[in-house]
Amino acid sequence: MTDLRTYLLMAGLTGLFLAIGHALGGQNGMMMALLLAAGMNFWAYWFSDEAVLSMHNAFEVGPQQAPELHGIVQELARRGGMPMPRVFLIDDDSPNAFATGRDPEHAAVAATTGILRILNREELAGVMAHEMAHVRHRDILIATITATLAGAITSIAHFSQLFSGRSSNDEEGRGGLWQILMLVLAPVAAMLIQMAVSRSREYEADAGGAQLCGNPLWLASALGKLEMGSRRIPLQSAEANPASAHMFIVSPLSGSMLAGLFSTHPPMEERIARLQRQAYR
């Protein structure tokens, strides 16, 4: 059911993208939007993992550079019968982690140096199991394509005047009003769809990660620490690239009431409560 809901939401995002193209440029605009969406999805499928890792200045590490982190990921991969993903570190005090890649055979997991300082081994295992669950569920590809389309919708709304072919004054007035509405409403609609996709996937990754590491309370304890730590120290690379914020295990952005309202992450209290219920079932 979650998979069906996710793909329906992604279809809605694609439909919104095409509707904007049609509204701003008729059939030609819709065809341009379709070609742009196809091109961006192709790029996202093959190259987005390296782009995201580079965006956050992540560097690959082996067992010599990060023995505990690498060993935990290796053990989780063995336990889950999964290919060993590449392991990356981000030199930042903000505690967080994410996964990327197009499939389990081409996956990478990344953690900040900050997360290594505040979590014990069991909690770190819970976090990395959450990321490995994203890999197993192929959420990382869905998240990347969703982010790509959402970013494209925002961009096409900002440059909507390029797709306007109106001629008469009356039509130009209506076209200008429509462009203003697109500028305001299209990015909001894309953000809401992106948020719905991400939130549904986070709950599934929490449950799958808890099962993979063997103790839901390890992840529950880690989430509580990460929530406080990320609020105190936002991740600077995510602040500069907010379109990637939904990929992290907790929101890496500085908090505000509006940011909380439109957060791509579920409420932390609910995530922890679900894990606690899972532990005592």
**Cβ-based neighbours of 44, under 8 Å, separated by 6 or more:** 141, 144, 145, 147, 148
Write down the pLDDT at residue 166.
Answer: 46
- Please tell me whether residue 8 adopts helix, strand or coil conformation: helix
Distances (CA, A) of 22 to 154, 165, 182, 219: 15, 11, 12, 45
Write down the pLDDT at residue 52.
Answer: 86
Listed as ranges, residues in the chain with pLDDT below 50 are 1-2, 163-171, 174, 257-262
Write down the pLDDT at residue 4.
Answer: 61
Q: CA-to-CA distance for 93 and 114, rounded, in angstroms?
A: 4
pLDDT, tens only, 67-89: 999 999 999 999 999 999 999 99
Write down the pLDDT at residue 101.
Answer: 86
Write down the pLDDT at residue 177.
Answer: 61
Residue in 68, 75, 105, 131 annotated catalytic: 131
Write down the pLDDT at residue 163.
Answer: 47
pLDDT, tens only, 241-268: 777 788 899 989 876 534 444 466 888 9
The tokens for 56 are: 């956050």
CB 85 within 8 A of CB 132: yes
Write down the pLDDT at residue 141.
Answer: 73
Write down the pLDDT at residue 175.
Answer: 53
Question: Quick check: is 131 catalytic?
Answer: yes
CB 33 within 8 A of CB 46: no
User: pTM for the full model?
Assistant: 0.78
Domain ranges of the chain: 2-279
